Each structure stands twice: as structure tokens, then as C-alpha cells.
A and B are shown apart, each in its own frame.
Chain A
């Protein structure tokens, strides 16, 4: 009983809030990324936007063959990645999770992959298509922000959490 009270007190200390704050931030960013990817996927799958709209852009990037990999629009892959990131963040946030590090590691790995691939796509946009797609750039910024948040989480958030777990374990012993 005494231990439980102690845990409840420590979990509200600012340093213990880092992890849930980071994970919530990642979840929110992932929702934003999913919205953008879904919008881009809609433009790619439906044929409705295959033109240069007056006062808007041309979607030259979307018109490019680089927007599809092995028959799958990149925007769909992006939406799936953000969905997986969202899922990992939610699992990480759930208090009952026994594997605290796994979601954090998965988040780091997925956002690293997303950031690297976004970097490649940005290079393709700039040097091959010579046109930049605004929503693609926003998605690249979002996935980079997720990478930074998940790296901070891995470096500090998990450390704090594991200390917390260790102290609980020790006090149980």
C-alpha cells in the first residue's frame, strides 16, 4: 500500500510526465500525417485532380511516376506508416503495457525509416521532378518531428520509466 502511494506520487512529478507528453505529441503528429497522406492518396487513386488547378499547383510531383512504388501509391504507404506510428504511440501510452521499451523502439525505427525515405523523396522532387509538393514537404516535417520526439523519448523518457519500474521492482523485493 505504501509502495502504491509512492508510485502515484512519483508519476506526477514533471520528469515522469516527459514520456506521456512525448507519446501524446507523436500520436497527434501521426494523426496529422495520416490526414495528409490520405488526402494525397485520394488524389493519386482518384483521377479527379489530374490537372493544374487555377490558383493552386499542378501536383507535378503526384503526376510523376515516383509517386508509385511497385504499383502502390507512396501516399498509401505513408498513411499506413502513420497508422502504425499512431498504434505504437497508443500502446506506449497505455499504462498496462508490460513492454515499455518496445513501442518506443518501434516508434524510433519507423520514424527513422519515414524520415530517410522522405529525404530521398525530397531529393527526387528537387533534382529530378524540379517541383516541390507542399503536402509532401509538410509530411516530411511531421515525420522528422516524430523522429526527434521518439529519439528524446528513447533517450530520456524510457530511461525515466525504466528507473521507475526498477524502483518499484526493488521496493517489491
Chain B
């Protein structure tokens, strides 16, 4: 009995020690997370990558030839097809970092043409009235009808929040059109009529038929690249395609 009485305070001390250690370890880990992450709160910006705003992108600047969803000259030896979804965080990361570099280093030189295709996957099978993935894609097509595709495209990525959180419901999409100074009446009528919905579903089927399983999927002169790649890993693929195109000449 005596041994048990003696053991009690030790046990309590050990227990307190264990709790204190656990709390201290968690405090250190949380402090490290809070101090060393990018404070933007948006998905995934490594230190060496800087997020871009719409106006930073060449395709929206009027400085390179743009034809609807194609950015860059038709004569470019390398054609990149970008199958993407406006709600997809990896797509945003690609657009903000890798795509921006491609525009500046290759599209500006007439070496690459980027073509965007809708692959709206993140809305699942929700009806078109509330499917934020297809609604965003439809809205971009409505902007395309007015010849302002790329500005709206970058606006959507800039305004991206979590998936299906209300960021791309019709009211917001119409507000983006107002922010960009589009013909509001035409845009609203286009979006409300779901004029482009069937095309977007068709594009989704085409992407699946091509072998795409997720977004973003890039196709560089026929070579499929699934998923986000940082520019330093994407660039060699462009160089390879450029070299092949040169050999073929």
C-alpha cells in the first residue's frame, strides 16, 4: 500500500510531463507552419514562384496574336493544348506559374501557341444551374463570344476559391463580366441561356477520348503530359518538341 502512495505524485508528474511535451511539440509545429508558409492563403505557391494577376499575362495584353481560345501565332512550331478546369487548384498553379513563363519565353517569340480547352471535371454530375465548373467554363465562352476570352480566363483563375464553394455561381460570374467592362446584357443573356453548356460537355467527352484523366492535362505537339509541372520541368518538353519540329523541316 505504501508503494502505491509513493507512486502517485510520480505518476502525476510523468503525466503532466507527457502533456507538456505534446503541447510543446504541437506549438513548435504550428509556429513553423505559420511562419514559413506563403501568407497568401491560396493553394501552393513555392517561394520561387510568384502569383500573377490577369494583366501580367501576355495572352491578355494584346501584344501577341490571339484567336478565341488560341494564344500565339498559327505558325508556331509547337502547339500546346491545355485541358483545364477553372476550379482546379493545380490548373491555377499551372496558369500562374508555368503558363506565364511559357507565354513570356516562347509565345512572345512566336515559337509556341497555347490553345485552351474546357475539361470541366470538378463539378461532378451536378445540374448545370449549380455546377460551378461548367458555369465558369460557360462564362468564359460567353466572354469569348465578345472577343475577350483571355481576360475573363485569367479573371476566373484570379477569383478561384475552393471547389463548389459559390465562387463561380451566376451572380459572381456576371460581376466578373462587369469588372472587365464586357457587354453586360449580352453576357448575362448568354450565361442564363446555357448556350455553351452542350459544347462544354462535348469537350469533356473529347478530352476523355483523348486519354485525359484529370486537369490540367497538357498536350505538347501530340505528347500528353498529365498534371501540373513546374516550368523547369515543363521547359525541356517544349525544347524537345521544338527540336523535333526543326528536324522535321
Contacts and interface: CB of A to CB of B under 8 A. Distances in A.
Interface of A: 47-60, 63-66, 69-70, 77, 101, 105-106, 108-110, 112-113, 116-117, 120, 124, 128-131, 154, 162, 166, 169
A162 B226 contact: no
B23 A50 contact: no
A51 B216 contact: yes
B227 A105 contact: no
B33 A52 contact: no
Interface string B8-28: 000100110011011101100
Contact of B214 (A51, A124, A154): A51
Contacts of B233: 47
A54 B23 CA distance: 40
B178 to A, nearest CB: 24
B91 interface: yes
B97 to A, nearest CB: 12
B29 A117 contact: yes
Contact of B22 (A56, A109, A131, A162): A109
A52 B214 CA distance: 5
Given A64-B43, A101-B11, A130-B161, A58 B22 contact: no
Contacts of B3: 166, 169
Contacts of A47: 227-229, 233
Nearest to B38: A65
B4 A52 contact: no
A113 B161 contact: no
Contacts of B93: 63
Contact of A54 (B4, B29, B89, B121): B121
B90 A63 contact: yes
B23 A58 contact: no
A69 B36 contact: yes
Nearest to A108: B18
A154 B90 contact: no
Interface in B205-219: 208, 212-217
A49 B38 CA distance: 22
A65 B46 contact: yes
Pick the most buried of B3, B33, B46: most chain A CB atoms within 10 A of its CB.
B33
14 contacts: A50-B229, A51-B214, A53-B121, A53-B214, A60-B163, A65-B43, A66-B33, A109-B22, A112-B23, A129-B43, A130-B161, A154-B15, A162-B4, A169-B3
Nearest to A60: B89
Contacts of A50: 90, 227-229
Contacts of A105: 14-15, 18
B30 interface: yes
Contacts of A162: 4, 7
Contacts of B37: 65-66
B45 interface: yes
A109 B162 contact: no
A129 to B, nearest CB: 7
Contact of A120 (B30, B36, B45, B46): B30
A118 to B, nearest CB: 10
B33 A63 contact: no
B208 A54 contact: yes
B99 interface: no
Contact of B32 (A57, A70, A106, A154): A70
A153 B41 CA distance: 40
A50 B233 CA distance: 13
A55 to B, nearest CB: 8
Nearest to B92: A63
A37 to B, nearest CB: 15
B4 A106 contact: no
